[in-house]
Amino acid sequence: MKIITWNLNSRTNEETLKGQFSFLRSGDFDVITLQEVTLNSELFFKESFNDMFVLSSFDLVEDKSILVNKRKYGQLVISKEPIKFISDQCTEIPFPERLLSCFIEASGIEIHTTHVPPGSSNGVIKVEHFEGVFSYLSKRMEKTRILTGDFNSPKLELDTGEIITWGQKIGASGRPRISVNSKWKHECTGERWDLAERNIIENHKALGLQDAFRTKNGYENTSGSWFTNMGQGRRYDHIFSSVNLSVNDAFYDHAPREEKLSDHSPLIVELSIR
């Protein structure tokens, strides 16, 4: 299975959408998972991929009037093989449309794709999202699962494999310590914030999952998927898969970001059943 995850940066310009579609079509992917989809771009991709199977998290929202401001972003899963919604979608997160769960009928493999709200503008909602996703997936341990998306985490990764979360700060000594943004200190402790991110980004083995990129590349590869204005890369976009799936390849394709089709580089992974 060749799978891609990509945050589209909520682009709605027609020329950009066509560029995104052209890139996705040229990759001949078996499964495409997209984040920061809007109602406008959702329609474009549903029409453009009319020869494949497309599911949208917006399809599960009865009252579309709520899909504004911080709740305007949805997720898409596009598949060559028939896919269906998982009947019991996650209800444990503040913005349910930020996690889309479905399964490929032929193989029974579950696909979950998510866009974790950034903590800088959403505060404890980010923490509650991580906690909800972890709780939801922990109840599906018997399933073969693939979890993709933009997690807005970690803050940093060290070549030792240690991660630094947004519930931590690097002190003058160069060592990390627990610390939460003062803006949110009355809503959430640093310990809770750190654990919420870490449970998926670092402790995903507890969910029976592996980090596809690190499994294939180790920690010497410092690729980022999103970059600050100062050029610092952060590996926010991930694909985690059940350990019974072999990771044959995993890499970030920076060309679409450099061509300004999005501010994220997509992650492409090739998997096979052991």
CA angle 211, 38, 13 (to 5 degrees): 105
Burial class of residue 16 in the structure, from the number of CB atoms within 10 Å of its CB (0-12 exposed, 13-18 middle, 19+ buried): middle
Confidence of residue 174 (pLDDT cuts 50, 70, 90): confident
Segment among 144-158, 171-185, 208-222 with least mean pLDDT: 171-185
Q: Report the phi/psi class of residue 250: left, alpha or beta, with left for phi > 0 and alpha for psi in -120 to 50.
A: beta
**3-state class of 94 per DSSP?**
coil
Residue 175: pLDDT over 90: no
**What confidence tens digit (pLDDT) does each residue in 115-150 have?**
999 999 999 999 999 999 999 999 999 999 999 999
Level-2 CATH architecture, domain 2-154+194-273? 4-Layer Sandwich (3.60)
What global pTM score does this model have? Answer: 0.97
**What confidence tens digit (pLDDT) does each residue in 231-243 have?**
899 999 999 999 9
How many C-alpha atoms does 70 have within 13 Å on its Cβ side? 13
What is the average pLDDT score of the chain? 96
DSSP, residue by residue, 185-254: TTT--HHHHHHHHHHHHTTGGGGTEEEHHHHHHTTT----SEE-TT--EE--EEEEEETTEEEEEEEE--
| Domain boundaries defined on the chain | 2-154+194-273
Q: Please give the DSSP secondary-structure letter assigned to residue 65.
A: G
Confidence of residue 171 (pLDDT cuts 50, 70, 90): confident
Measured CA to CA, the distance from residue 58 to residue 53 in angstroms comes to 15
